[in-house]
Amino acid sequence: MSCKLAVFVSGSGSNLQAILDATAQGQLPIAQERLDAEVVLVVSNRKKVFGLTRAEKAGIPTLYFPLKPYREAGKNRETYDADLVEKVSAYQPDLIVLAGWMHILSPAFLDRFPDRVINLHPALPGTFVGVGGIEWAYDAYQNGEITHSGCMVHYTVPEVDAGPVIARATVPILPDDTLDTFAERIHAAEHRIIVKATRKACERLRA
Ligand code: GAR
């Protein structure tokens, strides 16, 4: 039986697209392997993001679920997370893939999906934690502090961008790189490891 995925995005959704391409019938990009999974829901905490457009184009149910109304009503993050659990549970996903989801999930969410939430981070384990993973690595290279960076997918724990690693890729930074060319190389690596890690996490659930 194919693995049911809920993919959470906050932006362009290029990693969502990599997953959709790998699960779709037909031609796959070179070096990409098929993923026996089905995206049953795409969630975004931001309204006008291309990730939602990609989902709609693929005919996948979407959920726009912003935190702001909760804040304005004086409700805490845990309440938001608990309500998100209810919404997402209705789709009965086997695995939740945080693919550029810029919102920290509390135990109110994570405890309801133990070992079933994985997160993509645009840096190697233990490095450049937070939202500026690519920029900070580029700056660190310019300052002579690192020679390479990378990306990883890990099981999600309450600590940000930490947790058991499922897949990782090292990405070199080259002397004539601009931030954009380096970012492109990171994204290309991400598109490979997000598919690989999703496959591994799905296989682990079946084992
Ligand atoms: C990716 O680079 C991902 O690693 C990053 O957001 C981008 C989403 O791109 N996530 C984080 O920084 C989380 N700490 P996409 O919307 O094109 O898939």
In tens, the pLDDT along 42-53 reads 999 999 999 999
Question: Taking the domains of the chain in order of start, what are their residue ranges?
Answer: 3-206
What average pLDDT score do residues 138-142 get?
98
Determine whether domain 3-206 maps to CATH 3.40.50.170: yes
Residue 140: the pLDDT is: 98
Atom of ligand 1 nearest to the CA of 13: 16
Query: What mean pLDDT comes out for the span 130-147?
Result: 96
Q: Give yes or no for residue 54 having a pLDDT over 70.
A: yes
User: Residue 48 in contact with residue 74, Cβ under 8 Å?
Assistant: no
Q: Is residue 30 over pLDDT 80? A: no
Asked if residue 93 has its Cβ within 6 Å of ligand 1, the reply is: no
User: Has 121 been annotated as catalytic?
Assistant: yes
Atom 8 of ligand 1, residue of closest alpha carbon: 100
How large is the C-alpha radius of gyration of the chain?
17
State pTM to two decimals. 0.96
Q: What is the pLDDT of residue 26?
A: 62
Query: Is the minimum distance from the CB of 190 to ligand 1 under 6 angstroms?
Result: yes
Angle of helix 14-23 relative to helix 50-57, nearest 10 degrees, comes to 20
Mean pLDDT of 187-199: 97
Mean pLDDT of the chain: 95
Task: Tell me the CA–centroid distance for residue 99 and ligand 1, in Å.
Answer: 6
Q: Given the CA of residue 49, which atom of ligand 1 is nearest to it?
A: 16
Tell me the pLDDT tens digit for each residue of 152-181. Answer: 999 999 999 899 999 999 999 999 999 999
Are the CB atoms for 60 and 41 separated by under 8 Å? yes
Task: Tell me if 161 CB under 6 Å of ligand 1.
Answer: yes
**Residue in 161, 180, 190 to alter for ligand 1 test, most ligand atoms within 8 A of Cβ:** 190
- What number is the average pLDDT over the span 75-88? 98
What is the reported pLDDT for 106?
96
Helix (H, G, I), strand (E, B) or coil at 137: helix
Closest ligand 1 atom number to CA of residue 99: 18
**Cα separation values, 139 from 10, 160, 161, 169, 179, Å:** 24, 21, 19, 19, 9
Q: Binning pLDDT at 50, 70 and 90, where does residue 28 land?
A: low
**pLDDT tens-digit map of 14-24:** 999 999 999 98
